[in-house]
C-alpha cells in the first residue's frame, strides 16, 4: 500500500533447462509488479515482470534449446507458478514448483 519495491531471489529456477547431470546451483532475481496478500491462506504472492531463463553455466552463454521466457508468480509459501513460452514453437505451457527463495522489500522514501 505504500509503494514498496519487491524483488525475489529464487534458487534453482532454471535447473529444468539442464540436460543430464550438469545441474549448477544458481539464483534468479526477479522484479515484482502487482502484489497480493491472501488473508485466509496467509500467504503473499507477486506477479513478476517477464523474465528470460538461461541454462546456468559459467560463463553464461546462450545456446539452442538452453533458454526460454515467460512470467512467474512466486508465493511466500515457496510455490512458483510459471507460464513459460518455448521460443522455437511459441507455445506456452504452465508449470509449478516449490523453491527456496528470499524476498527483498525496499521501503519507499
Helix, coil or strand: residue 24: coil
Q: What is the DSSP string of 54-71?
A: E---SS----TTSEEEEE
Residue-wise pLDDT for 38-55, tens only, equals 999 898 999 999 999 988
- 33/74 Cα distance (integer angstroms): 11
What are the boundaries of each domain within the chain?
5-106
DSSP 59: S
pLDDT for the residue 60: 83
**Predicted model pTM:** 0.85
Average pLDDT over every residue of 91-101: 96
Predicted confidence (pLDDT) at residue 97 exceeds the cutoff of 60: yes
Q: What is the CA radius of gyration of the chain?
A: 15
- 92/50 Cα distance (integer angstroms): 14
For cell 504472492, name the residue: 45
Amino acid at each position: 500500500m505504500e509503494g514498496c519495491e519487491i524483488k525475489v531471489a529464487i534458487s534453482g529456477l532454471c535447473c529444468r533447462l539442464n540436460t543430464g547431470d550438469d545441474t549448477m546451483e544458481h539464483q534468479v532475481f526477479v522484479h515484482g509488479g502487482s502484489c497480493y496478500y491472501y488473508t485466509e491462506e496467509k500467504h503473499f504472492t507477486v506477479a513478476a515482470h517477464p523474465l528470460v531463463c538461461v541454462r546456468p553455466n559459467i560463463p553464461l552463454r546462450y545456446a539452442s534449446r538452453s533458454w526460454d521466457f515467460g512470467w512467474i508468480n512466486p508465493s511466500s509459501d515457496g510455490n512458483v507458478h510459471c507460464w513459460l513460452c518455448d521460443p522455437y514453437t511459441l507455445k506456452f505451457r504452465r508449470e509449478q514448483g516449490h523453491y527456496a527463495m528470499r524476498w527483498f522489500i525496499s521501503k519507499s522514501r
